[in-house]
Amino acid sequence: MSLPATIGIWLGIAFLGVAAYWNWRYMTVPNWLLALFLLSFFPVAWLSGMSFDEVAMRFAVFGAILLAVLLLFIRGIIGGGAGKLLAVTALWLPLPMVPWFSIICVILVGALCFAMRYSGGRWIEVIGEKFASIIGVIGIVLLTIAG
């Protein structure tokens, strides 16, 4: 793996770590952090020698996931910060890892919705509020595996 690609993976891990911490501490993911995470993908892709086709494919996946997350947000199933973080994380992951990331997140969202529906505990609400932190940790693990 080239040095720029390695730096890109570590930069992605750093962004995800900051987003996970911020969500854990303040129960929100700031839009400026998500925008910086999104925009920093362009120089990393260029420096790592990523082809235009791969960048286009990653943005198509990003758009599809963002649309799916928007539908979940409208229904009140997932928060806006967690949804945007999910979409941007999918942009940074290598394409073969995106289905695994999506499957893990869908299972977690389903389990969380099921638990919120049939359990009245406050602990479930706390987990729901920290969902972006969970997404960040999953992204860190998958980027570490990719590196």
Percent of the chain clearing pLDDT 70 (strictly above): 95
* DSSP code at position 49: T
Q: What is the pLDDT of residues 72-124, one digit of tens each?
A: 889 887 889 999 999 999 999 999 999 999 999 889 888 877 877 777 666 66
* pLDDT score of 41: 94
Boundaries of domain holding 91: 3-146
* pLDDT score of 60: 96
**CA angle, corner 52, sides to 32 and 15, nearest 5?**
25
Total structural domains within the chain: 1
Q: How far apart are the first and last CA of the chain?
A: 8
Distances (CA, A) of 34 to 2, 18, 113, 131: 26, 10, 25, 15
Q: What is the pLDDT of residues 20-72, one digit of tens each?
A: 999 999 989 999 999 999 999 999 999 989 999 999 999 999 999 999 999 98
